[in-house]
Amino acid sequence: MYIKKKERELFKLIDDKLKIPSKWIKFVDKQRVHHNLIIKKKNEYICTNCKHIFHSDKKVNEECKCPNCKNTYLVKSDRLKDYTFKDQLAIFDKVDNYYIERIFQLESHYHNGYINYYCFEWGRNIYDKYFSCMFQIMNDNTVGTTSGYWISYRENFNSNWKYTNSYYSPIAYYDEFIYYPYNLKKLLKNDSDYKYSQLWELVKHVDYCNLTYLLKNYNQSIEFLTKLKLYRLALNPKTFLFKNTFEERFLGLSKDYIPFIRKYNLSLNELEVLSVLKEKNINLIRMISKLDNFKNLSSLINFKKAFELTDLNSENCVEYNDYLTMIKTMKFDMKNPKYIYPKNIKEAHDKIEKEYEIVKDNLICEAIKNRGNELSKYTFNNSKYIIFPADSIESLEDESKQQHNCVRTYSERIAKGSCDIYFMRLVSDREHSLVTVEVRNNEVVQKRTKNNQSTTAEQDKFLDLWERKILKG
Ligand SMILES: [Zn+2]
């Protein structure tokens, strides 16, 4: 994309004035420590960070704490050839009236027992003094190809900053970074709005965050929560504003929970789980907070009762979620404790899963039959062709077999009403497949003859007429 001369000069000015801050290398080294593994060689475990050799009973792909350097890493087998870690780091800086976010990729490669790393700048976001983004620019460390962009280190690139206007470019994709924290206090203390903000402390204690979002939406809840050392909660300024009493702020939790929330640096999501569970069990909280429909789940059951009556733990939590979703779809009485609090979750889940598969098929069968009846009013013919809706699973299976296409797999979508399937055939030979037609919102979106071939001009003419006169008419 063409860059105006004025803007090119601005990018150059910024480039000339920016400096790498003094503790940058120290900061990168600190992040790099996370890019390590524990390599399991028979019964020996080797930490790639400190080279310490020890014994453990952890399995491959489990996390394990090195007894020497005390860091926790993933266990991998010594047969592993390559492994790559990537993190996006950022320096937030200011030149004249512009704020700049300098984006660096920290990349570490494990190869046959050794780790090499690169850290290189590849993108910049340029903001005005209100933190509105004015320019997103990238340098030659990003390579655009037809299949997308790659960020990779180039040995001798010339720092030629260029615009990106693609929605798919990486710079539009990333909005959270691990920020270099040591320059922020100096940068923000002259601004009366952020003088007491504590943002420099906050950034130090969380890994990824969106600093410009925090600056743009800044309010006192950030300062308040950061001072309480509830760092990950402080990342949600909109949630904690305008809430006065302690319990209101913390979703009904009393002050007694603060040490626990602080100890595990709970996120907002985890706090919501804690407020329902009222159990200081961090493994379970982390597990449940990852469930898609935790809120739905907590409306179905009482977690306290679930702990008393079932064998709920961090391992069978996902199955319990599945189980409840299934019995709800099957219209079980969701007030009956016998159903919603099974003694043995795994057993109950496996039993209901079998029944569910049968019922599910029946539900789909019925829905397709009903839909076929509804659509029969769109049946249409001339002297040569006829078109009519699929009215059963069997008819879809038959069409698939004859046409060698995948229309069978459409059954669940037809049942949900997200698409319709019609069969177009010869009036003289109605049993024999000719064209499979997919319709959405009364519009033909796909028409295929045998082996997914295209339709003829004559067939198209018939379908056009049908679509215009009957479907839309
Ligand atoms: Zn170690």
Distance 120 CA to ligand 1 centre (A): 26
Distance 53 CA to ligand 1 centre (A): 8
Q: Which pLDDT score is estimated for 83?
A: 95
Distance 65 CA to ligand 1 centre (A): 8
User: What are the residue ranges in the chain where pLDDT is below 70?
Assistant: 1-3, 145-148, 156-159, 164-168, 242-244, 292-293, 296, 416
Q: Which pLDDT score is estimated for 1?
A: 46
Q: H/E/C letters for each residue in the chain?
A: CCCCHHHHHHHHHHHHHCCCCCCHHHHHHHHHCCCCEEEEECCEEEECCCCCEECCCCCCCCEEECCCCCCEEEEEECCCCEEEEEEEEEEEEEECCEEEEEEEEEEEEEECCEEEEEEEEEEEEEECCCCCEEEEEECCCEEEECCEEEECCCCCCCCCCEECCCCCCHHHHCCCEEECCCCHHHHHCCCCCCCCCCHHHHHHHCCEECHHHHHHCCCHHHHHHHHCCCCCHHHCCCCCCCCCCHHHHCCCCCHHHHHHHHHCCCCHHHHHHHHHHCCCCHHHHHHHHCCCCHHHHHHHCCHHHHHHHCCCCCCCHHHHHHHHHHHHHCCCCCCCHHHHCCCCHHHHHHHHHHHHHHHHHHHHHHHHHHHHHHHHHHCEECCCEEEEECCCHHHHHHHHHHHCCCHHHHHHHHHHCCCEEEEEEECCECCCCCEEEEEECCEEEEEEEHHHECCCHHHHHHHHHHHHHHHCC
Distance 66 CA to ligand 1 centre (A): 5
Distance 33 CA to ligand 1 centre (A): 10
pTM higher than 0.85: no
Distance 111 CA to ligand 1 centre (A): 18
For residues 119 and 107, is the Cβ–Cβ distance under 8 A? yes
Distance 44 CA to ligand 1 centre (A): 13
Distance 138 CA to ligand 1 centre (A): 36
Using the CB atoms, write b or e for 218-243: b if 16+ within 10 Å: beebbbbbbeebbbbbbbbbeebeee
Distance 23 CA to ligand 1 centre (A): 24
Distance 76 CA to ligand 1 centre (A): 14
Distance 47 CA to ligand 1 centre (A): 5
Q: Which pLDDT score is estimated for 440?
A: 87
For the chain, give every domain's residue range: 5-179, 291-376, 379-471
Q: Which pLDDT score is estimated for 166?
A: 57
Distance 309 CA to ligand 1 centre (A): 42
Distance 48 CA to ligand 1 centre (A): 7
Distance 232 CA to ligand 1 centre (A): 27
Distance 267 CA to ligand 1 centre (A): 28
Q: How far is 283 from 315, CA to CA, in rounded Å?
A: 10
Q: Which pLDDT score is estimated for 148?
A: 67
Distance 84 CA to ligand 1 centre (A): 19
pLDDT by residue (tens digit) across 161-171?
877 655 567 78
Q: Which pLDDT score is estimated for 241?
A: 79
Distance 54 CA to ligand 1 centre (A): 10
Distance 262 CA to ligand 1 centre (A): 26
Distances in whole angstroms, Cα of residue 141 to Cα of each of 28, 53, 370: 18, 38, 57
Residue 441, phi then psi, degrees to nearest 5: 45, 50
Q: Kindly state the percentage of the chain with pLDDT values over 90.
A: 54
Distance 116 CA to ligand 1 centre (A): 17
Distance 100 CA to ligand 1 centre (A): 36
Distance 27 CA to ligand 1 centre (A): 19
Closest CA to 141 of 119, 125, 121, 118: 121
Instruction: List all residues 6 or more positions away from 305 whose beta carbon is below 8 Å from its beta carbon.
Output: 337, 341
Distance 72 CA to ligand 1 centre (A): 8
